[in-house]
Structure 1
Amino acid sequence: MTETHSSHPPAAERHPARQAWAGGLMAFAAVTLLLTGVLDIFRGVMGIAEDDIFVSARQYVFRFDVTGWGWIHLALGAVAVIVGMGLFSGATWARVAGVVIAGLIIVGNFLSLPYYPVWSVVMIAFSAFVIWALCVVRPDRFAD
């Protein structure tokens, strides 16, 4: 009964810069998704409370009630905050859910562009950064 020892150090010791890069991107994605979620919650509350806060576009292909959009953004924001907190643990489910919820936030903000265009573009950009950060580095692949 002999023990076999590998002459290679653990993956974290071989690539500390990659570990730091992956951890930094996960933290970036978590904070950005939390921020996106909180902003979406505020947007939802504004849409539910006051329809007059938003600019209304009459000739848009997607016609929805602004209060309905408020509920959609409130729900997306709440889920984004929960997933953003889960990203701090680095869990795979949180990474997958983060990409999905950021994608849904992009779609929701695209569809509500005529109601509040600048805010929608900012939220789309934040969500795109979240997707990029969650997809670009795979912390489980450091064993070169």
Structure 2
Amino acid sequence: MAYDVDFTEVSTVGLESSPAAEALAGLRANEARYFKNKYDHTFSTEPADEAADVVNHVGRILDEERGIVIASPALEATQFEVEGVRWSYVFYESGLSINVLWTLAEGGKRAVGFKLSDGMEVPDELAAFKFARQKSKLAGTIRGSYFVIKGDY
């Protein structure tokens, strides 16, 4: 069942099994606020088992582009299109959020972004990346990194 993420009253719905549930909920709410403010889009997520195609798609890109396999189980995922860009998000039990930005127009931007919940250690599979810090009222300190997608998925 889909969950419309509320960024005014942050909730851990769907993320309860995560040891970083509060921080991950803040991170998810931060994303919801961004899409509402920038595109007037309501950010909705589904349990990972109901959005297995999205989880598998993101996993395939990570594996084929960089040989990355995320050790933590996926909790929630979503995929949507806004202004010619397809966005895929997966939220993991460890507190990690991964998004794939895929511009539908030929030659557009295509990238994978990683965000670590406040207080989360960098997972071993992402140790090669450098993470920049960003402050958020909803999520505390978010650390993020990304890479450009070279293949076609």
What's the TM-score bracket when you normalise by the shorter of the two chains? under 0.3
For the pair shown, the structure with the greater C-alpha radius of gyration is: 1
Which of the pair is proportionally richer in helix?
Answer: 1
Q: TM-score, normalised by structure 1?
A: 0.27
| Higher RCO (Cα < 8 Å, 6 or more apart) | 1
